[in-house]
Amino acid sequence: MEGRDVVAINQPLLPHRFSLLRLRNHRETARAIRTMVVRGAGTIGATAAYGLAQAYSEGVDIDRAYRTLLETRPTAADLKHALDRVRRRATSVKEALAEAEAIADEYVERAKQIAKIGLPLITSGTRVLTHCNAGWLALVDWGSAPAPIYLAHRRGRKVFVWVDETRPRNQGANLTSWEFLQEGVPHKIIADNAGGFYMKRGEVDLCIVGADRIAANGDVANKIGTYQKAVVARENGIPFYVAAPSSTIDLTCRSGDDIPIEERDEDEVHFVSGVTTGSKLARVRVTPRRAAAGNPAFDVTPARYITGIITERGIVEPGQIRRRFGK
């Protein structure tokens, strides 16, 4: 945060352009979260916390600003977690900003721990399959699912990653691949439907994905398509891990059936964005005109398909979530 402005990476422009965006009030910050200019469970949590700090500085009704920010993305637990902390602990601009900064710093430290705790899962030669983007664009500085991959690579272990494209917004192809290129991690982008092909051929040793909300029984909501990968991984005897900070756990959700699933604009299915051969950013339609589209942003993977959940407090069996994290 610079002055009253929240400064964020304009993620939809990646990987073709890197641009910072200044969000000058809490309404602009809320709009950036809702339109996925800013995205990723931890990142939107931290950004929303700064957005509420902006509301304190604007002198507006805090409860109304809280609701404006909270309603942007209904599935991600970290959004409410961060907003609740700021509202509960702050009575002034200074306190709100300090709490937002503490939340962002905690995400960094939790992600570092996730990297260390997940590192033993990745030996030299491990081939990992990922889905969506849960890297440092999605969780401040280190990320969740790729964090052990980054640490393994930095320590000289040979690791290779199959990167799901992740339709309809292509966060894998656009963002995860871009991050891996910055880190120098060997990888290939694959179509979402190709994951099972490589699993069956014995070319995937491990799956690691992120999470947007984890229920008390260990069910996990993550980007649409995660459930399919988990089922196919089980069929092929491949360990399937979820990596997330403890703030993503929502003990008020008894199971995945209680997790609200965001339905986004169908234009995300109808249109794709990219760069033309003339290096111009363009948006093109890929479906018939007048065709309808469904666009659930997330699905729920039942706990029985998940080998373990990598948190900053250790790798937890899904069925032990309530015992390990209940108060």
Determine whether 212 is an active site residue: yes
Identify each DSSP E strand in 136-285 by its residue range. 159-164, 187-190, 206-209, 213-215, 220-223, 240-243, 249-250, 271-275, 281-285
pTM score over 0.85: yes
Residue 327: the pLDDT is 64
Q: Residue 326: how many CA atoms within 13 Å on its side-chain side?
A: 12
Residue 139: the pLDDT is 87
Written as six digits, the tokens of 314 are: 């250790």
CA distance 94 to 244: 29
Low-confidence ranges of the chain (pLDDT < 70): 1-2, 327
CA distance 51 to 28: 9
* DSSP per-residue string spanning 231-262: HHHHHTT--EEEE--GGGEETT--SGGGS---
CA distance 108 to 254: 28
**Phi, psi (deg, nearest 5) at residue 233:** -60, -45
Residues of the chain with CATH 1.20.120.420: 6-112
Among 175, 93, 94, 117, residue whose Cα is nearest residue 308: 117
CA distance 105 to 111: 10
Element (H, E) at 314: strand 314-316
**Catalytically annotated residue among 164, 205, 212, 219:** 212
CATH code of the region 6-112: 1.20.120.420
Q: Which residues of 27-66 are buried (b: 16+ CB within 10 A; e: fewer)?
A: bbbbebbbebbbbbbbbbbbbbbbbbbbbbbbeeebeebb
Each residue of 24-52: pLDDT tens digit? 999 999 999 999 999 999 999 999 999 99
CATH code of the region 118-325: 3.40.50.10470
Written as six digits, the tokens of 240 are: 């399937």
**Phi, psi (deg, nearest 5) at residue 187:** -165, 165
CA distance 75 to 299: 10
- Give the strand order in the sheet containing 187-190: 187-190, 159-164, 126-130, 206-209, 240-243, 308-311, 314-316
Task: Evaluate whether 165 touches 229 at the Cβ level (below 8 Å).
Answer: no
Each residue of 182-224: pLDDT tens digit? 999 999 999 999 999 999 999 999 999 999 999 999 999 999 9
Residues of the chain with CATH 3.40.50.10470: 118-325
Residue found by looking up tokens 């249109």 in the block = 271
